[in-house]
Structure 1
Amino acid sequence: MGYQPIENYGIIGNMRTTALVGLNGSIDWFCYPRHDSPSMFAALVDEQKGGYFKIESTVDGDNHKQFYLSETNVLVTRFLCDCGVGEVTDFMPVGTAELHPWIVRQVKTVRQEIRFRMECYPAFDYARQSHKTELTEQGAVFTSDSGRFELVTEVPLEVNEKGVWAEFTLSECETATFVFRESSEQGETPNPEMANRLFETTVTYWRKWLSQSVYKGRWRRYVERSALALKLMTYEPTGAIIAAPTSSLPEQIGGERNWDYRYTWIRDAAFTVYALMRLGFTQEAADFMRWLEARCQELGEGGSLQTMYRVDGRLDLDEEQLDLAGYRGSQPVRLGNGAYQQLQLDICGELMDSAYLFNKYGTPISYDFWVHLRYLTNWVCDNWQQADQGVWESRGGPKHHVYSRLMCWVTVDRALRLAEKRSFPAERQRWYQVRDEIYEEILEKGWSEDRQSFVQAYGQEDLDAGCLIMPLVFFMSPTDPRMIKTLDAVMASPQQGGLTSNSLVYRYNPSESGDGISGEEGTFNLCTFWLVEALTRAGASDPDKLTQARRIFEEMLTYANPLGLYAEETSISGTALGNFPQAFTHIALISAAWNLDEALDGKA
């Protein structure tokens, strides 16, 4: 079948799990029943044995297009050829009183007559389990150690060693429906009429949800698509938000920088809460804060948070390698993420900032939550001078990372602000002293006179785009000479020692930083949006920087896929790299768009 480019995918979901649908009409990634559950379709990382569910026209040389129905996560894949037009509408039902954890695929000929081919070849548990296929009156049943799943359809099916297939012809306005679901479910058997009702309910749900957005700015299309993508990456039962719905999509084709991102990172907290509340999605922000508070309660009176968790809060994330070929031969394919055991001091700052923002713009936090935040702040005061693996989760050993020190400063600063705002009891004198010590140490040891820039770690000279966040968290004035020089250093090309290649920003230089992983990577989309924000804030006193911020932002929008979705990175050829779509990138887009709009309107 061949691997689709990463940017050739759209995503559907139901706030429990998601599925990736290729431009060729193939569902190549689907985990069930949760984001972090084993896969049923995984051709995305092994085209031979990973499993897929494909529906496409049989006409050679047809032209494929994908789009979302406006203001929804209902995806349409269209096949255009000389003999007519066909399409597949994909969605997972939402908005009903009863949960329907199904994939619904509605096939239709829009013009003339089109012949389609359907292939449903599941491969349970990352292709580690075999299955038995049986035809039934309603379609087919697949039985494995994972359970029984069925494909319900009115189209006659044929069986082979992989699963079921069919070829069928639809005349203009004729339709066929396929529903993939767990066969143990009770209730009404899916049929075309039921699928149509679920379609209408799902469309209504998404449009009603998106109507809460208060953003009416210049880049509404991109901001709203980012919000819709973020909503798909939530796990509604707990409020958790995953980093990305995929595992092991490579940061370099053929390389080993392949990670499992189907978990919830604490560091996403402040940025997620900020983005959701800015747009008016206060319920999602509150749900995520409830999830974070539960993690804090687990700490007791000492210790720090784990870097990441499963969506239900569990800690078991031991990393292993799967016997899969990898996307375009990129190995290993990983299950779990060993970075959960790393010391990453920055997560405390992101958590504290999220609590501060939620208390300020959302709902005042409880005293019980404050008790745990106070414990965490005191832990940071005791441990901020430790070396750690840093925000980029380096596997090259602990260092004294500037970004980590910065976020330790944020931890104490936001705790002091919260205590003052709410008159909470706190160790104020000690916190003030530690906050000042961290600040002065960063200015002394995190600044390089030779590079005329803040650097990645003490005693090193290599740059880190994470330093761009300093004015965003109010550590440095955006017009401070050191900040301006850091901006200039980062914006220089890699050939000149910088990190920016024609407006796209690398997070750091792997060959300089010694991150413990071989190979290279693409530019980091999150960091490009951080550059936009840093320039936007500097633009308050320098109109040229504001103009530059808008140019880079609008250029960055052109690197989204046609659906408006971003992977983690962008390759030197402009294609997508890394897990897809990535929540952090879409969070940063929302923040950059909001603040750039305000600056251009003179409200900043």
Structure 2
Amino acid sequence: MPRPLVVGNGKLLINFDDRLHMRDLYYPYVGQLNHVGGHFSKMGIWVSGQFSWLDEDGWQRKLGYEKESLVTDVHCEHESMQISLHLSDGVHQRDPIYLKKVRVHNRSSEAREVRLFFNHDFSLNESEVGDTAVYDPLLRTIYHYKRNVYILVNGKTNIGGIDQYSVGIKRFHYAEGTWRDAEDGLLAGNPIAQGSVDSTIALRMMLGPDEKQVMTYWMCIGDSYSDVKKRNQYVLESDPERLLSRVSVYWQRWVNKEERDFADLPAEVIDLYKTSLLIVRTQIDQHGAILAANDSDILQYNRDHYSYMWPRDGALIACAMAKAGYTGVVAPFFRFCAEALTDEGYLQHKYNPDGSVGSSWHPYIVDDEIQLPIQEDETALVLYALWEQYKSGKQLEDCQALYPTLIRPAARFLLDYMHPEWDLPMPSYDLWEERRGIYTFTSAAVFAGLKAAARFALLFGDDHRFQRYDQGAERIREAMLKHLYDPQLGRFLRGYSAGPEGRLEKDFTMESSLFALFAFDVLPADDPRVVNTMEAVKRSLLVQTPVGGFSRYQGDAYFQKAHDRSLVPGNPWIICTLWIADWEIAKATSWSELQEPKERLQWVVRKALQSGVLPEQLDPYSGAPVSVAPLTWSHATYVGTVLRYLEKVQELQGRKERS
């Protein structure tokens, strides 16, 4: 199930599903550890003897965000209960504090008592073993704790604070949890429980006919009781409603800090651009990890998740964010990579947010032959992204500090890890992590990484290394034209995949990642070889259903939905569709040629969830999101494509003025 609502600040990330369950709570790292773990912490309401959880079918729900903000804008209405709720959720921009405001509207012609219930199904440090939930009569709060994780919950109405509470056992010895206790409108008041526990609190208000009132609720997360106690006091002294308003203002200022002329782009395209910037921000940990996705429901597919930092994804996301003016946000990513770099100078498959090496399925040995289990593009693209960041922010000191710790060792590895006969990178795994060989995308990425290293060497007056890196890049370019371009086909190959006994065999599969040829400046976008290749990509990977879009490659089986491969080569991906738009923008020489890529941006808008969240891929028949949502890479690619469109508009305007 996608996560249409995400709120966070780089320390704390909270995700909600489309039924408004809190499904993920990550702290102290974005993506690590998940203290909800996909279970269902939820909200309910009791009105005049009738009870309903907000996930039930009687509710009409509309999910979104406040304009240009990371505060949610959610409307819920229950016709038979004659009640409507307007929910606003946000995470404090600095501290691990979650805030919620509920505007309750009594749509009845009678005065009524309303009780709002909040259930908390935590598994602290991703385990239900040894948790404690306790009512604190001095603070008049509930808090859960285990070792170094404390979560305190509180709230208030114009009548007072927590009116009822109960803590108890969940999912053990037939105990369902205290959420079941809430359904008669009364909580038992049990003050403590340990083991597999949950808690529920109730807040009470009296509303006259057609009256509206505001209730506030909050969670304070910390490493100790003292931490959460201080944060709870901070919320009380600041007033939670006013504090949430300040959160909204902060994010509005943040997303609009760069003045930008959006030319002829429609309002909905601009709105999604800003939403994408905000959502990407929630997926970046304060210590530098840029997480792929934090939708824990993917665990049901393969018992692993996307809450990792893939250096490739992170590098391309960092490029887009730097280009958008957020160099400071992504600067820690490069320090993270410098610390993660092996002594040999390469980055591994993926990493946990704390910097430890993540899970992998790439072996060190195949058919009795030892191999390096890496995707070489991941190392190369970090160098490429660092140069792109330097161009955007001109942070010379940061790059100088990374020159001996990241740039030089990584560039040395790229130069050494070369096929002795072909002058192309040695075999490694492709960007989709599925096959091993020598690929056009990887070769283009290594070319771009060495070019970036050469530019840094020149910047720092290191002429000897400049020549080595630049000449190495040029050898790769020449080798790509010799080995990866097929003159009989008139286009580039996906590459050479490892066949029987490790032999490299030509791979003719049409592949969306061939966009790297122009994106990483191996060849111009209008070079006939690139044109022929990209036109073939468009013909071969178009999803020929009403959903549209472009797939990753021919025969893609990941989350396969296709019934007819001739019409659906694979599920449509957001990033792959935007790569097509990037090429159309790059080669455009007139306003008319920009209409097609502009339509692709509008296609992405139409495929976003109601809240603006973008998935990884789509069902080719229904258009429903497939795999994780939000996917950080999807949002960052959209940001990058919008910026390339605007750059091209400026270029065309400049040509017109000069003529």
TM-score bin (small chain): 0.7 to 0.9
Which secondary structure state, in structure 1, belongs to the residue aligned with residue 217 of structure 2?
strand
1:29 pairs with 2:63: no
Which secondary structure state, in structure 1, belongs to the residue aligned with residue 433 of structure 2?
coil
1:234 pairs with 2:229: no
TM-score by length of 2: 0.76
The 1:216/1:10 distance shift into structure 2, 3 A limit, reads farther
After TM superposition, the structure 1 = structure 2 runs for residues 182-581 of structure 1, keeping only pairs within 5 Å, are: 182=221, 184=225, 185=227, 186-187=229-230, 188-189=232-233, 190-191=235-236, 194-217=239-262, 218=265, 219-236=269-286, 238-247=287-296, 249=298, 255-256=301-302, 259-295=304-340, 299=342, 302-312=344-354, 314-318=355-359, 342-362=373-393, 363-365=395-397, 366-372=399-405, 373-385=407-419, 386-394=426-434, 396=435, 398-448=436-486, 452-458=490-496, 459-493=506-540, 503-510=548-555, 522-540=571-589, 545-572=593-620, 573-581=622-630
The 1:519/1:378 distance shift into structure 2, 3 A limit, reads farther
After TM superposition, the structure 1 = structure 2 runs for residues 92-111 of structure 1, keeping only pairs within 5 Å, are: 92-95=91-94, 99=95, 101-111=96-106
Q: CA deviation at 1:499?
A: 6.6
Q: Is the 8 A contact 2:308 2:353 kept in 1?
A: yes
> Match for residue 333 of structure 1?
none
> Match for residue 327 of structure 1?
none
> Match for residue 13 of structure 1?
8
Q: CA deviation at 1:417?
A: 2.9
Q: CA deviation at 1:226?
A: 0.9
The 1:575/1:431 distance shift into structure 2, 3 A limit, reads same
Q: Is the 8 A contact 1:265 1:309 kept in 2?
A: yes
Q: CA deviation at 1:228?
A: 0.8
Give the letter aligned to residue 140 of structure 1. I
Structure 2: runs of 5+ lacking an equivalent: 109-113, 156-161, 170-176, 178-197, 362-371, 420-425, 497-505, 563-569, 655-659
Which secondary structure state, in structure 2, belongs to the residue aligned with residue 530 of structure 1?
helix
Structure 2 Cα separation of the partners of residues 487 and 347 of structure 1 = 23
Structure 2 Cα separation of the partners of residues 208 and 353 of structure 1 = 30
Q: Is the 8 A contact 2:12 2:91 kept in 1?
A: no
Q: Larger deviation: 581-590 or 407-416?
A: 407-416
Structure 1 Cα separation of the partners of residues 236 and 609 of structure 2 = 33
Which secondary structure state, in structure 2, belongs to the residue aligned with residue 234 of structure 1?
coil
Structure 1 Cα separation of the partners of residues 314 and 20 of structure 2 = 34
Q: Is the 8 A contact 1:358 1:364 kept in 2?
A: no
Q: Percent identity?
A: 16
The 1:500/1:369 distance shift into structure 2, 3 A limit, reads farther
Q: CA deviation at 1:168?
A: 6.1
1:54 pairs with 2:43: yes
Q: CA deviation at 1:484?
A: 1.5
The 1:62/1:467 distance shift into structure 2, 3 A limit, reads same
Map Cα deviations across residues 492-551 of structure 1 (whole Å, 9 max, x no partner).
255xxx677664121123568xx9x9998732211111111011112227x664322122
The 1:148/1:294 distance shift into structure 2, 3 A limit, reads closer
Give the letter aligned to residue 41 of structure 1. V
The 1:282/1:429 distance shift into structure 2, 3 A limit, reads closer
Give the letter aligned to residue 435 of structure 1. A
The 1:65/1:130 distance shift into structure 2, 3 A limit, reads farther
Q: Is the 8 A contact 2:453 2:466 kept in 1?
A: no
1:165 pairs with 2:210: no
> Match for residue 123 of structure 2?
123
Q: CA deviation at 1:588?
A: 0.8
Q: CA deviation at 1:214?
A: 2.9
Structure 2 Cα separation of the partners of residues 509 and 229 of structure 1 = 30
> Match for residue 142 of structure 1?
144
Structure 2 Cα separation of the partners of residues 554 and 147 of structure 1 = 43
Give the letter aligned to residue 215 of structure 2. A
Structure 2 Cα separation of the partners of residues 269 and 38 of structure 1 = 20
Question: Match for 2:635 among 586, 590, 604?
Answer: 586
Q: Is the 8 A contact 2:574 2:616 kept in 1?
A: yes
Q: State the number of aligned residues.
A: 551
Structure 1 Cα separation of the partners of residues 126 and 554 of structure 2 = 33
Question: Match for 2:154 among 152, 155, 158?
Answer: 152
Structure 2 Cα separation of the partners of residues 15 and 56 of structure 1 = 32
Larger Rg: 2
Structure 1 Cα separation of the partners of residues 612 and 271 of structure 2 = 8
Give the letter aligned to residue 264 of structure 1. M
1:65 pairs with 2:113: no
Map Cα deviations across residues 205-231 of structure 1 (whole Å, 9 max, x no partner).
212222312333123211111111111
Q: CA deviation at 1:51?
A: 4.2
Structure 1 Cα separation of the partners of residues 32 and 379 of structure 2 = 28
Give the letter aligned to residue 415 of structure 1. A
Structure 1: runs of 5+ lacking an equivalent: 44-49, 321-340
